Structure 1
């Protein structure tokens, strides 16, 4: 499959521009909110809890890394071990990378990839604030990862794959960089009902993690086509509580919910 494999009504280049524009603005404005409406910022601690982060996690990462942009906690499902190499797709300001770095310890390594220069700059500034000597951030698209073949143990991501206009290419790339036996542990949104035309073709809806979501069945097919096995996608109905606040004009929880996406690259 190619760039024709997309859920939104936007052309690929237009979708990338909309996403890059939104997250550049968030990085530049020092925002800690999950949407431009600020509606999810009233109680950041409650949001962190809803996303699955323990208080011990959110308080150990220096301020400025957690922008409240996720829809789950991928490090909670990744079973990270000391010494592993972790890749975060769409790493933003680095919050999940810094959590992963603590779990893989000094013998491990964490690489964050993001296509927004402003986010990369912000994340790199956060390395020193978190004394994260085993973390690095690289500018690049998740469809074309700046990573060598078979060097990663675990690929994580938090509400980013839905933003891509070519999800097959994303998972093909994840498969390429994973070592045999490596695993995928992703939090993302999945489509549960057909989107209205006005939402599907809206750049803001695409960039805010709604209009680019795919149904579970489609994601299963994409992962299988990439070569992954032991595919498990579990929807989180309780996520509707915070997703309903993502848009002031629509209750987008009628169309998308958060999910965990797990899979293994087989050993042949």
Structure 2
């Protein structure tokens, strides 16, 4: 990633930009904070619930979680593709205010467990408060980077994530960490944006576009290669053509659906 002046942006700089952006969103208390400087990360002037309906959540899911947990920042519904079962342990990469974690907890029941990892202290604090308000006793939130997960080896059954992996400067490392923490036979179920065409220079070099779930997106071919390299099998990446209807609303001055599509990313760790 480069600055507009051509300087290469370090991984640390990228993480700082993302952390600062989402700390601001946590302070705002809703997806409205995401829209404050350009509507480039999946939210617009509509409510967080309206945005979430557009990406695949139903009213039952939205009504089942305490107010403030859903910030309207997703680009899909990973819990819907994860096929969660009672008693499973689920890990959410970039768990934000906890929305998907609370939905996962409902699916895995009282014998299951859900871990959320987020690198933004303000988000982790907000998620922990939401867990208390939601009486989510089987949900735990940890501060950490998704490239260096604070989770033991082979500790979880399912890894989910919602429009977060694109923000990482080292996506292959993210997938390697997911592989490490999954039990044999475990699976990933990720909703994220993928790149379908080269970004114009003004998008590629815009730091706001990086922090806003745009210019950090990888292509399907690159994601497939990364997942295969770290050891996953049954890799399947399914673009959601209908996502153009909400992606084109992300920016008032440019139709980002020319370069991005939301996709379901699935893979499995081989059994021994």
TM-score between the two structures when normalised by the length of structure 1: 0.94
Return the offset for 1:49: 2.0
Match of 2:88 in 1: 84
What are the Cα deviations for residues 102-133 of structure 1, in whole angstroms up to 9, with x where unaligned?
Answer: 00011000000000000000000001111100
Match of 2:218 in 1: 214
Return the offset for 1:40: 2.0
Match of 1:195 in 2: 199
Whole-angstrom distance in 1 between the partners of 2:11 and 2:177:
18
Whole-angstrom distance in 2 between the partners of 1:46 and 1:15:
29
Matches within 5 A, 1:41-52: 41-52=45-56
**2:246 equivalent to 1:262:** no
**2:252 equivalent to 1:248:** yes
Whole-angstrom distance in 1 between the partners of 2:19 and 2:166:
14
Match of 2:35 in 1: 35
Match of 2:241 in 1: 237
Q: Which runs of 5+ in 1 are unaligned?
A: 4-8
What are the Cα deviations for residues 152-186 of structure 1, in whole angstroms up to 9, with x where unaligned?
Answer: 00000000000000001000000000000000000
SS in 1 for 2:172: helix
Runs of 4+ in 1 over 4 A off after TM superposition: none
Q: Which deviates more, 142-151 or 43-52?
A: 43-52
Whole-angstrom distance in 1 between the partners of 2:144 and 2:48:
29
Match of 1:53 in 2: 57
Return the offset for 1:217: 0.4
TM-score between the two structures when normalised by the length of structure 2: 0.93
Contact 2:48 2:73 in 1 (8 A): no
Match of 1:179 in 2: 183
Return the offset for 1:54: 1.1
Match of 2:15 in 1: 16
SS in 2 for 1:214: coil
Matches within 5 A, 1:54-203: 54-203=58-207
SS in 2 for 1:170: helix
Q: Which deviates more, 40-49 or 75-84?
A: 40-49
Contact 2:52 2:74 in 1 (8 A): no
CA RMSD of aligned residues (A): 1.4
Return the offset for 1:249: 2.4
Match of 2:229 in 1: 225
Q: Which runs of 5+ in 2 are unaligned?
A: 2-7
Return the offset for 1:67: 0.1
Whole-angstrom distance in 1 between the partners of 2:28 and 2:51:
20
SS in 2 for 1:118: helix
